[in-house]
Structure 1
Amino acid sequence: MDWDKLRVFHAVAEAGSFTHAGEVLNLSQSAVSRQISALEESLNLPLFHRHARGLILTEQGELLYKTAREIFSKLAMTEALLTESRERPQGPLKVTTTVAFGSLWLTPRIKDFLDLYPDIALTMVLYDGELDLAMREADVAIRMMPPRQPDLIQRHLLTMNYNVYASPEYLKKHGVPTTPEDLDNHHIIVYGDDARVSPPVSNVNWLLEAGAQPARPRHPVLEVNNIYGIYRAVKSGLGIAAMPDYLSTEADALVNILPELKGPKVDVYFVYPEELRHSKRITVFRDFLLHKIQESL
């Protein structure tokens, strides 16, 4: 297969149209169309269904796209490793983690990392789902559960506990609960059900059950499918919520109440593909995280 045509095919499949692929490749729409037609003729197969709203891959096109995507992903990873300096870590590094951990714990510490390694071009993707590291959607992930993808290296970073928090304004207005049973008379904010994103722990809404009577089930004042959203709601004075204990050092405006009431533990992992095992950018970022975690304990 002609490499240039395969490159154009990959761009068209990613973009969904000749016009958008041409913008990415800096080619005219007609030049892109000719390359795809020539590739289809050489294979004697249609690769796209063409219609007014765009392009849809045929069954054969899907098969070729899957292979092309793997090839270009591997090439991108190889290029990054080849261009990395032997003397000083440099080049792009894309890191993904959850919205809450990234916003409240990681982002405030990134300046220190970039001061140490100014030649690393860091990108952060804050997302509560899982990006595909094998397909280079990110280089490194900080995850609240062990990786499910094969061929990924994992390093345990820390174990987090869930504690109970409220704002001073809320406690001034509604009083301070002194026992789990007192939560019956308070506004509880919980993690909302969203099938697209896995909750951080299996029993994430344990606060609704702590000290509750079966005959008097608690009902939340608000459900949010994101720990950062829960944090913002608690900070506003809306109610009480269970959140990871890294918030205790980052969210100084909140009060840790019912300290004897502990929720589930969450193990946090540093995860990256096997192909990046020898990347200096990965190594220095991992060591930086471990140092910062030790500082915050």
Structure 2
Amino acid sequence: MDWDKLRIFHAVADAGSLTHAGDKLNLSQPAVSRQIRALEESLNATLFHRHARGLILTEQGELLFDATSAMSRRLDTASARIRDSEEEVFGELRVTTTYGFGTLWLAPRLAKLYEKYPNLRVDLMLEERVLDLPMREADVAIRMKEPSQADLVRKRLMSVRIQLYASNSYIERFGAPQDISDISAHRLVCQSPSSAQVSASATLVQHLMTHNPSSLLTVNNYAGVLQGAINDLGIGVLPDYVTQGFPNLVQVLPDISSAEVPVYLAYPEELRHSKRIATFRDFVQEEIIAYRKKLKELATP
């Protein structure tokens, strides 16, 4: 089977348009159309349904697109491994993690990584959905639970807890709760029950709600909860990793905490020897060591 025709077919199927695929491949629309017709003739199959809004894959086209997609992922993996240099770190590294951890802990620290490795390009994908690492939806993941996917290298980085925080100005105005029953006199700022979150966080919020907070603000991510807390809206239910950069936040009811939430770094087995992966892994571990040291210093009178 002609590899060049398969490459063009994959681009057309991905774009859903001969014109858009041609723009991507630097080919004219007629040239792309000729290659698709030639491929269909060689396979004796119709690969696309053509209509005014674009192209839709036929059943045979779907089968071929699945195959070319798998080929594309494998080629990307091979290319990445070939490009990895023992001398320097460069190229794209696709990192996925949760919105909260990526926004509030990882992203603020990436300047140090770029300063050391200016030729590295990090594509940071923040979402609660667990991306499929073996299928190369991302190169490396940081998740709030141990990954269950097969063929992954896993490393436990640290543990976090969900706790209660309020701003100094909020406490000056409304006072700090001395007991969990005092929650009834305060507004609670937390993730909404319908948002994706670790079970430990949801369990803690459910427990707090049984004490009837006087008011409630729910947000679908921790970045919004943090903004509510630092802007004096109420007592925020937040992971402990967010507070180091916000000295105006004070922990309240320190005995009230979620269960321990493990944080794991994972990447595909086939990238075990990737220089980019090793560099990122070492960077994150170094930052966690520094983070823990800073927490100890803050806790020491």
Give the alignment's TM-score, normalised by structure 1: 0.91
| Deviation (angstroms), 1:229 | 1.8
- The equivalent residue for 2:216 is 221
Matched residue, 1:173 = 173
Instruction: Quote the residue 2:237 is aligned against.
Output: 242
8 A contact 2:183–2:214 mirrored in 1 = no
Q: Pairwise mapping of residues 180-199 of structure 1 onto structure 2 (< 5 A)?
A: 180-194=180-194, 198-199=196-197
1:143, distance to aligned residue in structure 2 (A): 1.0
User: Match for residue 281 of structure 1?
Assistant: 276
Which deviates more from structure 2 when the two are superposed, residues 60-69 or residues 217-226?
Answer: 217-226
- Moved segments of 4+, more than 6 Å: none
| Partners of 2:62 and 2:134 in 1: CA distance | 18
* Counterpart amino acid of residue 145 in structure 1: K
Q: Which residue of 2 aligns with 1:32?
A: 32
TM alignment of 1:16-95, pairs within 5 A: 16-95=16-95
Aligned pair in 2 of structure 1 residues 38, 159: CA closer, same or farther (>3 Å)?
same
- 2: CA distance, partners of 1:288 / 1:279: 14
Describe the SS at the equivalent of 1:188: strand
RMSD of Structure 2 on Structure 1 (CA): 2.0
Q: Which amino acid aligns with 1:283?
A: A
SS in 2 for 1:137: coil
- Provide the C-alpha distance between the structure 2 equivalents of 1:253 and 1:75, rounded to a whole number of angstroms: 49
Give the aligned residue type for 2:175. G
- 1:251 — aligned with what? 246
User: Aligned pair count?
Assistant: 292
Shift of 1:119: 3.0
Mapped partners of 2:127, 2:7: distance in 1:
29
Compute the displacement of 1:218 (Å): 5.0
Change (3 A) 1:220 1:55: farther
Confirm or deny: 8 A CA contact 1:161 1:264 kept in the other structure.
yes
State whether residues 200 and 258 of structure 2, in contact with CA within 8 Å, keep that contact through their aligned partners in structure 1. no
What is the CA-CA distance between 1:107 and the residue it aligns to?
A: 1.7
Q: Helix, strand or coil for the counterpart of 1:89?
A: coil
Q: Secondary structure at the match of 1:267?
A: strand
Following the alignment from structure 2 to structure 1, what is the Cα–Cα distance between the partners of residues 144 and 251? 22
- Structure in which a larger fraction of residues adopt helix: 2
Q: Could you tell me how far apart the structure 2 residues matched to 1:35 and 1:235 are?
A: 59
Q: Aligned pair in 2 of structure 1 residues 219, 133: CA closer, same or farther (>3 Å)?
A: farther
Q: CA deviation at 1:208?
A: 4.2
Does the 8 Å contact 2:193/2:202 carry over to 1?
A: no
Query: 5+ unaligned residues in a row in structure 2: which ranges?
Result: 293-301
After superposition, the C-alpha distances for 1:268-291 in whole angstroms (9 at most, x for unaligned) are 111111110111111121111111
Supply the distance in 1 between the matched residues of 2:228 and 2:203 (Cα, whole angstroms). Answer: 16
**Deviation at 1:183?**
0.6
Write the distance in 2 (CA, Å) between the matches of 1:145 and 1:203. 13
Deviations 1:22-64 (A, max 9, x none): 1211112222222222211211112122221222222221111
Paired residue for 1:12?
12
Are the counterparts in 2 of residues 180 and 212 from structure 1 also a CA contact under 8 Å? Answer: no
Q: Distance in 2 between matches of 1:57 and 1:258?
A: 58
C-alpha distance after superposition, 1:78-108 (max 9, x if no partner): 0111122122233221212122212221122
Pair 1:208–1:176, CA change in 2 (3 A): farther
Alignment correspondent of 1:120:
120
Q: Quick one: structure 1 residues 219 and 128, their matched pair in 2 at CA, closer, same or farther if it must change by over 3 Å?
A: farther
Alpha-carbon offset, residue 154 of structure 1: 1.2
Distance 1:45 1:131 in 2: 33
